[in-house]
Every structure is written in structure tokens, then in C-alpha cells.
Chain A
Amino acid sequence: MTNDRTMYRNLLTLVAAGSMLVLSSSAFSADEGGAHGAVQPPRQSWSFAGPFGKYDEAQLQRGFKVYKEVCSACHSLDYLSFRNLSEAGGPGFSAAQAAQVAKEYKIKDGPNDSGEMFEREGRLADHFPSPFPNEQAARAANGGAAPPDLSVIAKARTYERGFPWFVFDIFTQYQEQGPDYIAALLHGYEDAPKGFQLPPGAHYNKYFPGHALGMPPPLSKDQVTFDDGTPATVEQMAKDVAAFLMWTAEPHMTARKRIGFQVMIFLIVLSGLLYFTKKKVWASVH
């Protein structure tokens, strides 16, 4: 038994030594942020963060409005269907409301019996149509860089957390790097500092890696009118659309966290029962 204790002590020493090693080596990476020049986006408070996080329906509805009236001019949302808008754990539209949204879109369908392609009103089962007929058209209309699809963008964008924060993130469950980055990016435009060579057609953004962003500042004050009367500041719109994009990237998150809690309770009770069973079984041997 004393030997086992030695082993645990050794393990602790190991963890401590490992931390020291990595801490001391943060000197290695002191200039890393400088190399990319990206500024860490500020942490926002999100309703969907943490083990009991849920999407805020009103926020998703506002975010959807920003997407529909602003972003959708250039950005597709390929993996999302209209029916998703009325599904549980989402923005909470009714099926009729979602159908109404679908109707506002023209969907290219066909060929019909006479071999013609035709346009019709959108249905719940349709996916959001792309603003451009193909990638080349998207490129041509946007100075050579096609605007990325936004379906999973909130999971496809992040920023470097660095040591030791990336270790803490496991325990604090900080998973919102994507929406934090998006919200910051959308109002991170400013004048380029002196001496910064901004390529033609690019816009200086302090949160974008490399700073030269092709997308012009997309949001301006009161660009949309929110149905719930929330003032449409740039920060508000940026945050709401970032929350909406988190939902499009992870539409089953609410269910995931709810089931996760049940699974945790089950496993903790099971472990407890097995622990006492083990103690009883082994009592005669020790």
C-alpha cells in the first residue's frame, strides 16, 4: 500500500513538473500572438453556455432576421432546411411561420414532364437556397473570394486559447470560441494602423487573422428592425446572428446537454453502487 502511495505521489509530482515545463515554455510562444496579430475576442455571456445551456428563442429569431436581411445576400446556409426553424430546441417558430418563411423564397426545381426547369415557392422540406448559382459566380461577385457557407461556421472558426486556458476549458466547458469570434469580428472593423499595407478591396478588422478581410463591414445601426423592439445596435445584431449561427451549427445542442445531465446522474449513481459492491466483495480479501 505504501508503494501505491509512492506511485500517486510520483503522479502528482509528474503533473506539477509537466505544468512547470509548459508554463516556463510560454516564453517560447510569447511572440506567437504577434505573428498572427489577431486580438483575442472578448468573452460574451451566452444563454447556451454551460451544462444547462439553452438557446434563447427570441435571440435566435432576431439572429435569423439579421441573417435573412443582411448575410443571406452573399452567404449560403446549405445544410439548413426551412423545417428546422420550427423544430424543438431552435428559434421556436411555429410550423405555419416556418412555411411562411419558406414561401418567401423562390426554389429552382425540375425538370418537369416537358423537361423544363422551373421556379416555385419554397416548402418546409427545402433547404435555404444559395444566393449565387455556383462557386465561380460567388467568387466573381466578391472580388475573387467566395463568401463561405454559414451552416457550421460557428464550429469552423475559433481562436487560440493558449496554455493554461485550454486545459481549464475542459472543466469550465468553455465551448463558445466560435460565436465569440463571430460576434467580435462583425464589429471589429477599424482604420488600419499606420504602416499596415492593406491590399486593395480588403478591410481592416482587428479580430481577423492577418487583419485584411474581404468582407466589408456588414452591419450598421438600425439596419434591421427587430420585431420584439430590441434596439438594433451593431453589437446587438452581431451577437444575435452569432447565436443564430451557433444554433445552425449545432441544432441538437439543447437535447445533447439535457440528455448529458441524465447520463451523468445515472453514471454517478452506478459508480457509487459499484464502489460499495466492490468494497463488500473485497472485504474478506484485504
Chain B
Amino acid sequence: MTGHSTYQPTNGFMKWLERRLPIGGLVHSSFVAYPTPRNLNYWWTFGGILSFMLGVQIVTGIVLAMHYTPHVDLAFKSVEGIMRDVNYGWLLRYVHANGAAMFFLAVYVHIFRGMYYGSYKEPREVLWILGVIIYLLMMATGFMGYVLPWGQMSFWAATVITNLFSAIPGVGDLIVTWLWGGYSVGNPTLNRFFSLHYLLPFVIAGVVVLHVWALHVAGQNNPTGVEPKSDQDTVPFTPYATVKDGFMMACFCIVFAWFVFYVPNYLGHADNYIPANPAVTPAHIVPEWYYLPFYAILRAIPDKLLGVCALIGSIAILAFLPWLDTSKVKSARYRPLYRQFFWLFVITCIGLGWLGSKPAEGLYVIAARLLTVYYFGYFIVVLPLLGIFEKTKPLPNSISESVLGAKA
């Protein structure tokens, strides 16, 4: 997307089109000639996987919406209709439900990769913030999608999450009533969730375009964190990155298909096969696995308002990461101390996830509090101080030197 296109159309129609709408040149410079660092490892293939997953979710979602009825008396029934009477409806629904989980799995790998290699640092701050916005939109979309089948967990998840807004002092209850479209979670709530669940993926797609645009302006980071300096340091996107992304995407699809075809309900909750019943509260209300760390943080704080603030803060703080990390060195490869704290952070997130699935009582709460302290401490204390005190290893002069040096 930068500079003049080197695209030379050979075909007569493409020549004609190029003078009127240079879309061939745009695609060529973005996905064919685009220079990509030659030392990217497989952790860099998840961006492509995420675009693919967004596509899968939109396509299956559009077809599911043709068969789904957003009404409290019919939603559960229409989902069962999809499972039983729509041709390959079971496949569409299981691909969509497990696809959401795979989408989050891939986004977590993508985010942690960015953190490990310092991909959020100058000049990629806007690229990173756009990513945080996409992640927020994904969370909203995933949550509202989970409500649509109108099972017990759908209903109670909607109740718990919308009730968080009641913690806002003064106007909390008013806002909750406004969100519900009534005095409890009901048909208006389900209708607006369906509407927004259909809308938000297209908003995500729009922000993804900005994300990719920002990426193509700043260029990709790479495992050394040293910016490409010459043509020696890069290879053209096609065929190098395309084939590598393609291979990893196929491997990812094996995992995806395993869940869809063999354990399609593993990541779901049995209670969501019980139709929503406002009169019966499930024994444990738990969100989908990908929200569990944040749910643990919410419940770790004894005060409701502060808990909600911690929940919002735990995500919002990601947007400030480029400025909280004061180190000039990008990649964890050359930051021995940072690397330790990083993996501790990953373990903390997994630990919080597990605690989020457990009842908020006894030792679980104490453990969740300790991990919450580290979660925030990592951003507010560890990262700013590390940049000052850490002795980093010497950086290679260029990407090609690091590649050839390792080989020699």
C-alpha cells in the first residue's frame, strides 16, 4: 500500500481496468510484492488465520441467521430446528459455535506473540491499538452470540453481564433498564442482541482493514525486533508468506475440525441445552472459556463497582502498553528478564482462566486476588521499571545477519 505499485498488468482487461480503478495494483502491492521480513516464524501466521476465521464466522453466521428466530419463545426451538431439520444445519451451527472459540484461541496466540516480540512499540502503536479495538469488538460479538440460543447459560450470562452496568453510581439502574429494553432480560434484549451480533462482525471487518493498512504502512515486526534495512532482509509476500500461512492455516483447521466433528459440545456448557428459565438460576453461572480470566478478575474484587472497574481496566490497559513498556529493545529474545516476567504473565492469565471457572469462594478467591495483582503489576510496575533496569543482550546489525549468523 506504500509507494508506487510495481504491478504490470499483462491481460488486456486488467490493463483497461487498472487505468480506471487500480485495484489490481492494490492487491499486488499488498499481498504479492509486499516485503515481509525473511525471519518470521510460525507465530506470525496467526494474522492470516484470524482473517480466515472472521470469514468463516460471517459466512456460517449469515446462513444460520436465515434459519434462526430471535424471539424468547422460539429461539431455542429454532436452534433445535437448525440442528435437526436444516440440511447440514448441525454442521453450520457447530462450525459457528466452535469457530468462535477457535477465533479467540487464535487471537490470544496473536496477542501474546505481539507482546513477546514487542510488536506494539514504535512505529506500531496505532496498529496495536486497532488490534485492541478488534479484540473488544470480538468480545462483545461473542457474548451476544452466546445469548442467542436462549438456553439457561445464555439467559443468565446476559443477566449477569448487563447487571454489571448497575454498578455505575446514580444512573446504573436506568442504564440497565435501557439496555434491556424493559425491566428484566426479555424479548427486547434478545432482539437487540441479535441485531448487534449481526452488525458487529462487519464493524470488525472494517477495523481489520484499518489494522492491515496500518500494518502495511509500518511493516511487520520480526523475531529480532530490528527493522529491515535492505532487500536482503525481506522476501516478497507471495509466494513466501502465502505458502507458509497456508500450511499453518491447514494445520489450524485440523484442530478446528477435531472440535467440530468429534467433540462439538466440549467447549460449551450442558446447561445451555436447557431452555432459558428466569425462575431457575443455574448452580454455577460461567461464561465461555475465553472470558474466564476477566470473570476471575471481576469476582476477585469484593466491591461491585471496583470489580467492574478492574474488569474494564484489565482490557483497557492493553491500549497503553506501547507507553508502559519503556524498553527500547523490542524482542524478548534480547531481554532475558522481560522473558521471565512475560511467561509468568502467560501463566497468570491461564491461572485466572481456570479460577474463573471455579466458584468464587475460599482459596479460589485468594488465588484470584494474587493473580490479579500480578496481572496489573505486570503492566504498571514491571514493564516501566524493566526498561530502566534491565541489561539487554546486544542486537544483531540486521535481520540477514541474524539469520546467516545462526546458520554459521
Residues of A within 8 A of B (CB): 1-4, 6-7, 10, 13-14, 17-18, 21-22, 25, 28-29, 36, 51, 79, 84, 148, 151-153, 155-158, 169-170, 173, 175, 177-178, 209, 249, 251-252, 256-257, 259-261, 263-264, 267-268, 270-271, 274-275, 277-278, 281-282, 285-286
Contact at A156–B254, with CB atoms within 8 Å? no
B10 within 8 A of A: no
Contact at A274–B246, with CB atoms within 8 Å? yes
Q: Among A3, A170, A263, which residue has its beta carbon within 8 angstroms of that of B263?
A: A170
Contact at B253–A267, with CB atoms within 8 Å? yes
Stretch at the interface among B14-22, B138-146, B184-192, B266-274: B266-274
Residues of B within 8 A of A (CB): 38, 41, 77, 80, 83-84, 90-91, 94, 116, 223, 235, 239-240, 243-244, 246-247, 250-251, 253-254, 257-258, 260-266, 270-271, 273-274, 283, 333, 339, 343, 346-347, 350-351, 354, 358, 362-364, 367, 403, 406-407
Contact at B350–A267, with CB atoms within 8 Å? no
In the assembled complex, which residues on chain A have CB atoms less than 8 Å from the CB atom of B403? 286
Contact at A256–B223, with CB atoms within 8 Å? no
Q: Whose C-beta in chain B lies nearest to the C-beta of A253?
A: B90
Bound Cα distance A25, B38 (Å) = 43
In the assembled complex, which residues on chain B have CB atoms less than 8 Å from the CB atom of A252? 83-84, 90
Minimum Cβ distance to chain B for residue A108 (Å): 19
12 intermolecular pairs with C-beta atoms under 8 Å apart: A4-B223, A10-B343, A28-B362, A148-B274, A152-B80, A155-B270, A170-B263, A256-B91, A260-B257, A267-B254, A278-B244, A282-B243
Minimum Cβ distance to chain B for residue A253 (Å): 9
Bound Cα distance A7, B358 (Å) = 31
Interface contacts beyond A274-B243, A274-B246, A286-B407: sample of 6 additional A-B pairs, CB < 8 Å, sorted by A: A7-B116, A18-B351, A256-B90, A264-B258, A275-B247, A282-B243
Closest 5 CB pairs of A and B: A260-B261, A156-B273, A274-B247, A158-B270, A271-B250
Minimum Cβ distance to chain B for residue A154 (Å): 9
Contact at B261–A285, with CB atoms within 8 Å? no
Minimum Cβ distance to chain B for residue A54 (Å): 14
Contact at A175–B266, with CB atoms within 8 Å? yes
Bound Cα distance A6, B116 (Å) = 13
Bound Cα distance A28, B360 (Å) = 12
Bound Cα distance A28, B257 (Å) = 34
Q: Among B38, B251, B283, which residue has its beta carbon within 8 angstroms of that of A209?
A: B283
Bound Cα distance A13, B250 (Å) = 27
Contact at A29–B358, with CB atoms within 8 Å? yes
Q: Whose C-beta in chain A lies nearest to the C-beta of B224?
A: A3
Contact at A264–B254, with CB atoms within 8 Å? yes
A14 in contact with B347 given A2-B406, A274-B247, A275-B247 (CB within 8 Å): yes
A277 in contact with B339 given A18-B350, A155-B270, A256-B264 (CB within 8 Å): no
Q: Which of B80, B223, B250 has the most CB of A within 10 A?
A: B250
Q: Which of A3, A169, A264 has the most CB of B within 10 A?
A: A3
In the assembled complex, which residues on chain B have CB atoms less than 8 Å from the CB atom of A286? 403, 407
In the assembled complex, which residues on chain B have CB atoms less than 8 Å from the CB atom of A170? 258, 263, 266
Bound Cα distance A175, B265 (Å) = 8
Q: Whose C-beta in chain A lies nearest to the C-beta of B404?
A: A286
Contact at B247–A271, with CB atoms within 8 Å? yes
Q: Among A17, A274, A285, which residue has its beta carbon within 8 angstroms of that of B347?
A: A17
Bound Cα distance A169, B253 (Å) = 19
Q: Among A25, A270, A285, which residue has its beta carbon within 8 angstroms of that of B250?
A: A270
Contact at A263–B406, with CB atoms within 8 Å? no
Minimum Cβ distance to chain B for residue A84 (Å): 8
In the assembled complex, which residues on chain A have CB atoms less than 8 Å from the CB atom of B84? 79, 84, 251-252
Q: Among B244, B262, B271, B350, which residue has its beta carbon within 8 angstroms of that of A282?
A: B244
Minimum Cβ distance to chain A for residue B24 (Å): 23
Minimum Cβ distance to chain B for residue A148 (Å): 8
Contact at A173–B262, with CB atoms within 8 Å? yes
Bound Cα distance A1, B150 (Å) = 50
Contact at A281–B350, with CB atoms within 8 Å? no
Minimum Cβ distance to chain A for residue B394 (Å): 13
Contact at B243–A155, with CB atoms within 8 Å? no
A260 in contact with B240 given A4-B223, A13-B343 (CB within 8 Å): no
